[in-house]
Amino acid sequence: MDSSAQIKPAAANPVRAQRRAGSIFDREGWLGPLLIGPAILYIVLLVGIPFFMALYYSVSNTTAGSETMAFVGLRNFANVIGTPKFQTALKNTFTFALLSQVVILIFSNALALALQKDFRGKRLIRFLILLPWVAPISIGTIAWLWIFDSTYSVLNWTLRMIGAIQGQGFMWLGVPHLAMGSIIAVHVWRQLPLATVILLAGLSSIPKDIHDAAAVDGAGFWRHFFQLTLPLILPISLVVLLFGLVFTFTDMIIIYNLTRGGPYDTTQVLASLAFYTGIAGGDLAEGAAISLFLFPLLLAVALGFLRIARRTEVT
Amino acid sequence: MATVEIRGIKKYYGDVPAVNGVDLITREGEFLVLLGPSGCGKTTLLRMIAGLETPSEGELVIGGEVVNDLPPRARKIAMVFQSYALYPHMTVFKNIAFPLKAQRVERAAIPQKVEWAASLFGIGHLLQRKPRQLSGGERQRVALARALVREPAVFLLDEPLSNLDAQLRASARDELQQFQRRIGTTTIYVTHDQVEAMGLGDRIAVMKAGTVRQIGTPQEIYDEPADAFVARFVGSPPMNLVECRDYILGFRPEHFLPKGTHNGDIKAATFRFRVTRVEYLGADRLLYGTLGDALADQKVIARLPSTVTVRMDPATTYDFTVEERQLKFFALSTELRIQRRPL
């Protein structure tokens, strides 16, 4: 009793001094808002305001340069939906997004499984695989532009050298199906690294004992993969798919750099159509209507996936 | 049913030996415990038997067949892991059925076998639950049922009780032993807990630094330790080891008793014992202190059963005796057991 009574007052002073010095950081009521504030500001200024402006544009008759704006209801949507250009773009958007995500999921799973094994130079390979993700996308696609060039294509050159084709070779970006295939290939190249890294994280979160138990229980490669590994990384795979889908539905950089939607609109997607209509063509109202068309669908997809991911979550 | 033979097994990680030349033969249907401190190589040895690690040297024989090059699934073994390693996304039923499906057991026979294994461990009512809905003890039973269901020739258990609380562990130990007796499958059990080892094993192999120091029945290990390490590792509190001239003298705390407690006609060695602390544990008392005379200041412990009611006070010196046949002698240099020496 005696000794503790002596210690107490001596220890209390420095504690109080410390609390005064770091008072804001010690109070959760202040620290929380302080930390999240910049993020909220960023989202409101750069995402929230443009989003609500787009919402309003889509029900107005505004154009680039006009100083007046009148409410016209859903007329823009009605005008747009009927056009063949829009319907082609809608179809292309789904083809582009779904096909590229299927390919990405298969490739990233295979790649993540391979990278999980121990081998020499694993870190270097991991780094190389991440490169397309960290390289600026415009520079990457310009390189692809040369790869697909009608005269200098290195693909055609290679095919000619190994004797697979003769003569001029393929017009990679000039023929409808080839053009769609080409932009899907570039999109896969671009998104594969992130998907692989996320899946790798998912794979390494599975305890080693589970794999050992499966080996002792007699599971071969396919049973092991389809009955254990895949179900266990399903929640994180869904997150990969969700990000991939939303990203693909709303992005147009690759298409803008490689095909500008051509040939004959066969690679035109809603995002690029919205850009060409609203920014290049100056019809802000219709552009906004096109770009918002998929918003309800994407929202539903996102909510649905997050629900499934939560339900299949395993611990 | 099968035996496991381990012939000169070594395992190196880089230049570091984890298992450094182990020879061991189990008997038919035996419960063999690998006992040792953390890092002694016991789990590595078990994983090599399972086929989860490849030996650097030596031969592994299960049921008369060299299995070095066989994958785990071809070794007719089953293993229970310390973490239980249940498949978290599968129900208990599917967990237990998994090894059967993997071995392509006829589909129609599976439910019956699963229910048989589940009933052996009293978990028949849990078959539709997921592992996360089970308690620690229930998970352990599911892991055992999953190991048992395909009727392996050898059972490998890696500290399966270490995640249970003390009370549950005692009853699980009891059940485990009864169950092993009933099915009579050769079992190799890894633990660092000497109480578990003594209670469960038909024989115990005590390991240290990748080698087996002694193999024997619990009684042999306890009463006749082969070296000072085994003497120190088995028993709680451990054997008193006292350096005298060129050897080490060892005696168990329960044999170190106040003079007069032994019958008068038994040959006994007498020591001066200065008690420094008394711990009252209910069933017995532990006396901590130092020896006097020639063995000055060497720390020893005495364990007095509650039947010895002599009053013992700290900071007091008493005469204590050890029956002469309970004295063990070890070489000072090698720590190996040596012949009896004159005191």
Taking CA atoms, what residue in B is nearest to A311?
Answer: B89
pLDDT in tens, A185-212: 888 988 888 899 889 888 988 999 999 9
Confidence of residue A101 (pLDDT cuts 50, 70, 90): very high
Q: Of the ranges A168-172, A229-233, A270-274, B283-287, which one carries the lowest mean pLDDT score?
A: A168-172
Question: To the nearest whole angstrom, how far is the Cα of A203 from the nearest Cα of chain B?
Answer: 14
A9 or B278, which is more confident? B278
Domain that residue B301 falls in:
237-331
Q: B85 contacts in A (CB within 8 Å)?
A: 207, 209-210, 212-213
Which pLDDT value is given to residue A210?
Answer: 92
Contact A315 B89 (CB under 8 A): no
Confidence of residue A178 (pLDDT cuts 50, 70, 90): confident
Question: To the nearest whole angstrom, how far is the Cα of B21 from the nearest Cα of chain A?
Answer: 24
**Which of A207, A231, A232 has the CB atom closest to B85's CB atom?**
A207
Contact B88 A220 (CB under 8 A): no
Which pLDDT value is given to residue B46?
Answer: 93
Whether domain A85-280+293-311 has CATH 1.20.1090.10: no
pLDDT in tens, B292-340: 877 777 889 999 998 888 888 888 888 888 888 888 999 888 888 888 8
Contact B83 A207 (CB under 8 A): yes
Which pLDDT value is given to residue B222?
Answer: 93
Is B264 in the same domain as B117? no
Is B126 in the same domain as B253? no
Total number of domains in chain B: 2
Is B115 in the same domain as B263? no
Taking CA atoms, what residue in A is nearest to B91?
Answer: A314
Question: To the nearest whole angstrom, how far is the Cα of A219 from the nearest Cα of chain B?
Answer: 5
- In a domain? residue B147: yes
| A273 pLDDT above the threshold of 50 | yes
Is B54:B48 a contact under the CB 8 Å cutoff? yes
- In a domain? residue B341: no
Contact B88 A232 (CB under 8 A): yes
Is B33 in the same domain as B98? yes
| Residue boundaries of the structural domains of chain A | 85-280+293-311
Is B113 in the same domain as B245? no
Q: B72 contacts in A (CB within 8 Å)?
A: 215-216, 218
Taking CA atoms, what residue in A is nearest to B51?
Answer: A216
How much of chain A, in percent, has pLDDT values that exceed 70? Answer: 92
**3-state SS of chain B?**
CCCEEEEEEEEEECCEEEEEEEEEECCCCCEEEEECCCCCCHHHHHHHHHCCCCCCEEEEEECCEECCCCCHHHCCEEEECCCCCCCCCCCHHHHHHHHHHHCCCCHHHHHHHHHHHHHHCCCHHHCCCCHHHCCHHHHHHHHHHHHHCCCCCEEEEECCCCCCCHHHHHHHHHHHHHHHHHHCCEEEEEECCHHHHHHHCCEEEEEECCEEEEEECHHHHHHCCCEHHHHHHCCCCCCEEEEECCEEEEECHHHCEECCCCCCCCCEEEEEEEEEEEEECCCEEEEEEEECHHHCCCEEEEEEECCCCCCCCCCEEEEEEEEHHHCEEEECCCCEECCCCCC
Is B219 in the same domain as B246? no
Residue B143 to residue B139: CA distance in whole angstroms: 6
**CB neighbours of residue A74 within 10 Å:** 11
Question: To the nearest whole angstrom, how far is the Cα of A2 from the nearest Cα of chain B?
Answer: 25
Is B159 in the same domain as B297? no
Contact B82 A315 (CB under 8 A): no
Contact A315 B132 (CB under 8 A): yes
> Could you tell me which residues of chain B have a Cβ less than 8 Å from any Cβ in chain A?
47, 50-52, 71-73, 77-79, 81-85, 87-89, 98-99, 101-103, 132, 146, 150
**Which of A207, A215, A314 has the CB atom closest to B52's CB atom?**
A215
Question: To the nearest whole angstrom, how far is the Cα of B52 from the nearest Cα of chain A?
Answer: 7
**Which of A213, A232, A312 has the CB atom closest to B85's CB atom?**
A213
Find the mean pLDDT for residues B47-56. 92
Taking CA atoms, what residue in B is nearest to A218?
Answer: B73
Contact A219 B52 (CB under 8 A): no
Is B195 in the same domain as B268? no
- In a domain? residue B175: yes
Could you tell me the strand order of the sheet in which B240-244 lies? B240-244, B247-251, B328-331
User: How many cross-chain Cβ pairs, A to B, lie less than 8 Å apart?
Assistant: 66
Q: B52 contacts in A (CB within 8 Å)?
A: 212, 215-216
Residue A250 to residue A263: CA distance in whole angstroms: 20
Final residue before a domain boundary, out of B180, B200, B223? B223
- In a domain? residue B101: yes
Contact B88 A215 (CB under 8 A): no
Which pLDDT value is given to residue A11?
Answer: 47
Cα dihedral sign, A32-A36-A41-A44: negative
A52 three-class SS: helix
Which pLDDT value is given to residue B293?
Answer: 73
B51 or A134, which is more confident? B51
Is B210 in the same domain as B248? no
Q: A218 contacts in B (CB within 8 Å)?
A: 72-73, 99, 102-103, 150
The answer to whether A315 faces chain B, any CB pair under 8 Å, is yes
Which pLDDT value is given to residue A276?
Answer: 85
Final residue before a domain boundary, out of B176, B201, B223? B223
Which pLDDT value is given to residue B172?
Answer: 84
CA distances from A280 to A58, A249, A276, B238 (A): 16, 20, 5, 86
pLDDT in tens, A32-78: 888 999 999 999 999 899 889 888 888 888 777 777 777 787 888 88
How much of chain B, in percent, has pLDDT values that exceed 70? Answer: 99
Is B183:B148 a contact under the CB 8 Å cutoff? yes
Which pLDDT value is given to residue A313?
Answer: 61
Q: In 3D, which of A310, A315, A295, A311 has the Cα closest to residue A55?
A: A295
Is this prediction's pTM over 0.80? no
Final residue before a domain boundary, out of B171, B189, B223? B223
The answer to whether A313 faces chain B, any CB pair under 8 Å, is no
Tokens standing for residue A72: 């016209």
- Chain B contact probe: residue of A216, A222, A236, A310 with most B CBs at under 10 A: A216
Find the mean pLDDT for residues B189-208. 91
- In a domain? residue B286: yes
Q: Which of A23-27, A147-151, A162-166, B200-204 has the highest mean pLDDT?
A: B200-204
| B341 pLDDT above the threshold of 80 | no
Q: Of the ranges A109-113, A256-260, B284-288, B319-323, which one carries the lowest mean pLDDT score?
A: A256-260
- In a domain? residue B10: yes
CATH code of residue B216: 3.40.50.300
